Copies of this chain bind each other. A is one copy, B any other.
């Protein structure tokens, strides 16, 4: 799936500083808080005095987090930024700046790096964040991209994982499982492509939604404003990078609570549902364990139910219980199974029934 007809400029032609200049020459800062960006030993940022500085970092490794056989470099750059901004959104913070560090082997040309940075800058543009620094280094093999995102929020705005209360409603934005099913589809088409001696081009028509969820995830930076308008402040919040089960368990562990999660309430898009069935996968398992949906999972006071009821952006999927009740998945048939980090166990038990 690689096009070898493109021009190829070796990175060594530019050297480290030439490459940095090339990558950063068009940067225009959008944030007032960016006093000094790329070009010194460090960036200098200025936050309003009532704002706290919120920092997160995530690393994507070739062969572990992405496969360039089906992940275009532009999408990889975009995703590397978005997954970090998603972490800030999960704090109810506003993303302001990022730094990007790259380790790249000489397998990659300047044109490849250009494509990667197109995606990085597109995500910056989309979320109005400034690229203020980073490091660019060679690697013996492969590609590693490490992003640190910096945001701000007032003490009142910020939401942690550990403040879920008994009887809180558990709410999720958007729908789940699509990114995982998108990945299964890409893996299948890659195998078809490889086993056909690269004669058969992938047929991905009709799967746009799930592919986009995998290849171009969007951080839910809109949720902060949506909740503010609804006059809801979540008690606890986390983003869904590892799957619903794992994230809900994080909230319950940190908050010292249990939970009841209702299988039939979990929002799953029809394309996700049908494609999961094509793969003989349980759509609920995909939602529970798939991960990479980058939706937000949060708990709200029971009294806020009327504010959120019927809102198309949110689905109430369960409630927080006393710790002694454990973390339970209640299946469509009404059976109760302990939720596990992988999510698989509960469903395997269900299937064995």
Give chain A's interface residues, CB within 8 Å of chain B: 17, 35-36, 39-47, 49, 52-59, 61-65, 87-88, 90-91, 93, 97, 99, 101-103, 132-135, 137-142, 144, 146, 148-151, 158, 160-162, 237-239, 254, 341
Contacts and interface: CB of A to CB of B under 8 A. Distances in A.
A143 to B, nearest CB: 10
Nearest to A100: B57
A93 B149 CA distance: 20
Contact of A238 (B41, B133, B134): B41
Contacts of A39: 161, 254
A44 B49 contact: no
A70 to B, nearest CB: 17
A47 to B, nearest CB: 6
A140 B140 contact: no
Given A62-B140, A135-B59, A138-B61, A91 B42 contact: yes
Given A35-B52, A52-B35, A135 B45 contact: no
Contact of A64 (B97, B139, B149, B239): B139
A64 to B, nearest CB: 5
Contacts of A49: 49
A237 B40 CA distance: 9
A75 to B, nearest CB: 19
A128 to B, nearest CB: 18
Contact of A44 (B52, B65, B141, B142): B52
A158 B49 CA distance: 18
Q: Give the secondary structure class of A's interface.
A: strand
Contact of A144 (B45, B133, B144, B238): B144
Nearest to A144: B144
Contact of A148 (B57, B138, B151): B57
Contacts of A103: 59, 61, 64, 144
Given A55-B150, A56-B133, A138 B41 contact: no
Given A55-B99, A64-B103, A42 B88 contact: yes
A101 B144 CA distance: 11
A61 B158 contact: no
A44 B40 contact: no
Contacts of A57: 99, 101, 133-135, 146, 148
B40 A161 contact: yes
A295 to B, nearest CB: 13
Nearest to A250: B17
B53 A137 contact: no
Contact of A142 (B133, B140, B149): B140
A41 B139 contact: no
Given A47-B47, A55-B99, A146-B101, A61 B137 contact: yes
11 contacts: A40-B254, A41-B88, A41-B161, A42-B56, A46-B52, A55-B148, A56-B133, A59-B144, A99-B148, A103-B144, A140-B142
B41 A91 contact: yes
A119 B151 CA distance: 29
Contacts of A162: 40
A49 B239 CA distance: 30
A52 B61 contact: no
Contacts of A87: 41-42
B36 A45 contact: no
Give the interface centre of A35, A52, A90, A146 by most chain B CB atoms within 10 Å: A146
